Structure 1
């Protein structure tokens, strides 16, 4: 059996989740939004830090939460839900039936095992879209963020990616659109997403920490929001004394730019969203808040080359001091930004 959805528009993206969701909502809803706007409407921004003994270095640092795609459906009032299916055979049958019905389908998996991706790193929450399959060739056809054409992947690689036995798993998570109905207007969705983001960054909503703690298993440290940033801030000051200090610095550099963040640890995307949010909800977003969002993105981007230099010279105390100062500055910017937004958003939307 072979099936392929031919009429799906693939637009390359800076980030897998917001890029996939942008392409899916265009297909199902006819809504064409900038990727940064999609990211912000999904309340995607976060700072998640957790230790993970099986990784090298033994921690992970994410600039987004784990539920952005599902949260976009909440803010927009979409008929979209995400499911997990621990049984690999049933998991494949479920998404195969979606394709047979002509419905492109959101998948989640570890990017390391996808055989068409040249950049090899463990990332368990990679998002991509299933467009087709060929049983005879044992191939599947995927819309990913890199190219404007469908990628070819072996069925075995897809199966392992979706539920690996030797790494963090999202247990064959997949997302289903039941219709293209949108129940919330863009200004309404904007306000809802701002409230979710502010509450998560301030620690009022602890859902992202709880989700990541459950997924990562045997971590000893797991924090999100501004508290996650503070944890990163504390941890980075311990790294100069470690033998593997270079790998720590290299990982942070990758986390800021190379791990499909759209630049600036996802802050480039959020700055785009904030410009749009100012237009949609001037009652909630001030011009100063937009400036702070852009400053945070610039500061994160400036930290990246510092971490590259440290990776090359891990015993250079001056470089470490520079990095610590930059991290402190970023925290001050984001603390101020979310303090400002809390004054307007949480007062208007209790």
Structure 2
């Protein structure tokens, strides 16, 4: 038995938007990766550390799968999500839509996938599956992981069954675009203002602009947080720049989203937000470089400098989101035909 769906296997930079792009192009809706990320209100920030973590974590996006839910709701897509504790049922949930000609999104632990070079557990990884045969599953992953790839059915089953932080119970999902699909352009303002409101009003101090400020205080202590700074600090910086973030902890993607929107909507608030996120993206890359240098050299001054830049970023992103939160209050004639 074998099923392989003909499709555009374009791998992009972030796993969830890569999978969403595959599923939506199959439905005839081709949106750029920044547009998918932005319409899913994907930008966020979290500073996270706990006793069972070896080292603090900086995250730049909403929780896994929230982006997919946000995008589906905004565009009026039919999102069918299936989860189960049964491996047999989980496989049926994938095979049935595939045999009917529909690619399927999967959330799994990337550690078990054959083609992954770096073996680190991450239960929030998302791929699109477009086929299978008796031995292998055919997937689309990020460009960094190879785009159109394959992994053994055994490894796929292990990845889907994994338990731990951010994992889901064999989660699979499909997207269907209705005939009366909401216009992506009409969803720009609601998506941006929802993202801005969440960022400006975080429920705890670890999130949003308050989380960035907290990171600015705590990053100065990072050399004392590890017995192996030469490993842990460069790895933290690598996760900010290279681990499917699109660079600059997802700020490059959001900058490009706002740039696309500014070509569609004539808004001073949008231009302000785009300008500030253009500057912020550069500064996030600078923070990552300083953290790397601190790990390699052991110089605490690099972390002090990174903390100062993070304070600037907290203020800058707060100002950007305050401007963007005003988008919905502009006169309708501010939108170009």
- Report the TM-score when normalising by structure 1: 0.85
Q: 2: CA distance between counterparts of 1:49 and 1:330?
A: 14
Change in 2 beyond 3 A, CA 1:22/1:348:
farther
Q: What residue in structure 1 maps to residue 224 of structure 2?
A: 241
Q: Match for residue 186 of structure 2?
A: 188
RMSD: 2.4
Mapped to 1, the partners of 2:236 and 2:97 lie a distance apart of: 38
Unaligned runs of 5+ in 1: 210-221
SS in 1 for 2:117: coil
Query: Which whole-Å deviations, capped at 9, do the CAs of 1:29-51 have from their partners, x for residues lacking one?
Result: x2222211111111110112322
Cα pair 2:44 2:208 within 8 Å, conserved: yes
Q: Give the 3 Å change call, closer, same or farther, for CA 25–277 of structure 1 in structure 2.
A: same
Q: Does 1:278 align with 2:278?
A: no
Question: Match for residue 101 of structure 1?
Answer: 100
SS across alignment from 1:237: helix
Q: Relative to structure 2, which stretch is displaced further, 244-253 or 295-304?
A: 244-253
Q: Does 1:154 align with 2:152?
A: yes
Q: 1:62 aligns with which of 52, 59, 63?
A: 59
CA–CA distance in 2 between the matches of 1:162 and 1:231? 35
Q: Displacement of 1:286 after TM fit? A: 3.2
Q: How many residues align?
A: 328
Q: Give the distance between the partners of 2:172 and 2:295, measured in 1 at CA.
A: 37
What are the superposed Cα offsets for residues 190-216 of structure 1, whole Å, 9 maximum, x if unpaired? 012112201210126x6xx8xxxxxxx
Secondary structure of the corresponding residue to residue 31 of structure 2? coil
Match among 226, 236, 261 for residue 245 of structure 2: 261
SS in 2 for 1:121: coil
SS in 2 for 1:286: helix
**Residue in 2 that maps onto 1:49:** 47
CA distance in 2, matches of 1:114, 1:27: 24
2:26 pairs with 1:27: yes
Cα distance in 2 between the residues matched to 1:238 and 1:299:
20
C-alpha distance 286-243 of structure 1, shift in aligned 2 (>3 A): closer
- Counterpart position of 2:73: 74
SS class of match (1:238)? helix
Alpha-carbon distance in structure 2 between the residues aligned to 1:63 and 1:113? 24
- Is the 1:274–1:285 contact (alpha carbons within 8 Å) kept by the matching residues of 2? no
329 and 69 in structure 1: CA distance in 2 versus 1, 3 angstrom threshold: same
Normalised by the length of structure 2, the TM-score is: 0.89
In structure 2, relative to structure 1, the CA distance for the partners of 1:251 and 1:105 (3 Å cut) is same
Counterpart CA distance in 2 for 1:81 and 1:282 is 36
Structure 1 residues 195 and 48 mapped into 2: Cα distance closer, same or farther (>3 Å)? same
In structure 2, the partner of 1:202 is 200
Partners of 1:344 and 1:53 lie apart in 2 by 41
- Kept after mapping to 2: 8 A contact 1:46/1:225: yes
1:130 aligned counterpart, secondary structure = strand
Q: 1:101 to 1:303 in 2, by over 3 A?
A: same
Deviation at 1:149, TM superposition (A): 5.8
Whether 1:327 aligns to 2:310 is yes
Structure 2 CA distance for partners of 1:92 and 1:250, relative to 1, 3 Å: same
Indicate conservation of the 8 Å contact 2:75/2:187, yes or no.
yes
> Residues 243-287 of structure 1, C-alpha deviation per residue, up to 9 Å, x if partnerless?
434444223312211211111111111011101122333347432
